[in-house]
Amino acid sequence: MAAERTYWFPAKRYGWGWGWPSAWQGGVVLACFFALVAAGFFFFPPRAHAAAFVLYLVGLVALLIAVCWVKGEPPRWRSGE
């Protein structure tokens, strides 16, 4: 018997992409993302290390998108189904 797949991030109702987390695991991922963004302000102060801060944020966003891609509903354009 196949296990039912639970998505951590449901597809948005309008547009392309994912909405807010629908499972506790997605909430943990999003909370960690925001905590790491906040930590970036201390590790790479934007005024002193602007390029490092931007690269850090790009890496975090890429990691979040990768998690959403793997654990979220398959993305496609939606118009309010």
Tell whether 78 is covered by a domain.
no
Tell whether 37 is covered by a domain.
yes
Structure tokens belonging to residue 58: 């790009």
H/E element, 15: strand 14-15
Do 8 and 21 meet the contact criterion of CB atoms below 8 Å apart?
A: yes
pTM of this structure? 0.85
Domain that holds residue 37: 21-72
Tell whether 28 is covered by a domain.
yes
pLDDT range class, residue 81, cuts 50, 70, 90: low
Tell whether 43 is covered by a domain.
yes
Do 73 and 20 meet the contact criterion of CB atoms below 8 Å apart?
A: no
**How many structural domains does the chain have?**
1
In terms of phi and psi (left: phi > 0; alpha: psi -120 to 50; beta: otherwise), the region of 63 is alpha
- First-to-final CA distance of the chain: 30
What are the pLDDT digits (tens) for 18-75? 989 999 999 999 999 999 999 999 999 999 999 999 999 999 999 999 999 999 999 8
